[in-house]
Amino acid sequence: MSVDTNYREEVLRMSVLSKLFGGKPAPTEEEMIEEMRDLLHEAEQLAVQDPKAAMKLVRRKSKRLQDVIKIGRPMHNEFRNAVLPIMSQAGSGPAVTELPTATRVPWEQALTIGALGEMARTVEGEIIYLVPSDPRLDANALNQLQALYQFAGNPNLAVVVVGGETMLVRKSVAVSAAETIDPESEDVGVDVMDFAKSQHLESNIIIQ
């Protein structure tokens, strides 16, 4: 899975703004990685007694670590591998032991359903994560994991929309939709969800 490089520009931008306006300096990538590992260690210990409290801890303390733990970012795999067992313990559904792989793709590379299909045939991930180029519109890392968790637990799930700006699509569904729908159609999100419905597949929404 390729690592998105836009996050580095965002980290630098936030650091510059903090210096200009006298705020607390934004953490460096190295500091965020260290904080993430400390958080995961704390959460794993807490999860032994109270998995739900551990998930609340992760959600609260991961807010400032988003630039290294989201899909496509350098520590995403380490974060997801540590959080998945806690998430599974805290959930009410069947236990999930492995999440599907996801490839981060800017919406600009899938402006038509045909472009989405062509791109889907080449990516390695099982899930295509469509996201705006503006990193501020990206979904929260835990909401991304929750979407992947839903895919893992429900083979009939085709699409998950997170926060209205990002969409996760099962790769096989994207390929099939592109083979059925006018390839020049630009209503990509609607097209995919309509196709999923026509195939009696499910879609879901996670509120950001």
Nearest-angstrom CA–CA distance, 148 and 99: 6
Q: How many domains does the chain have?
A: 2
Asked whether residue 111 falls in the same domain as residue 208, the answer is yes
Name the CA radius of gyration of the chain, rounded. 18
130 contacts 107 by C-beta, under 8 angstroms: yes
Residues 30 and 106 in one domain: no
186: domain CATH number is 3.90.550.10
Range of the domain at 193: 99-208
Tokens of 112: 């038509």
Last residue of a domain, one of 81, 97, 113: 97
Note whether 161 and 201 are same-domain residues.
yes
Check whether residue 88 and residue 134 sit in a common domain: no
What are the tens digits of pLDDT across the range 83-128? 999 999 998 667 889 999 999 999 999 999 999 999 999 999 999 9
Q: What is the dihedral of CA 47, 53, 59, 62, to 10 degrees?
A: -50
Same domain assignment for residues 131 and 176: yes
Residue where a domain terminates, one of 97, 120, 153: 97
Confidence of residue 44 (pLDDT cuts 50, 70, 90): very high
- As a whole number, the mean pLDDT across the chain is 90
pLDDT at 190 over 90: yes
pLDDT score at 135: 84
Q: Which of 97, 112, 137 is the last residue of a domain?
A: 97
Q: What is the reported pLDDT for 10?
A: 58
Residue 20 pLDDT: 52
Task: Tell me, yes or no, whether 133 and 91 share the same domain.
Answer: no
Verify that 39 and 118 share a domain, yes or no. no
Say if residue 36 is in the same domain as residue 128. Answer: no
The percentage of the chain sitting over the pLDDT mark of 90, rounded to a whole number, equals 79
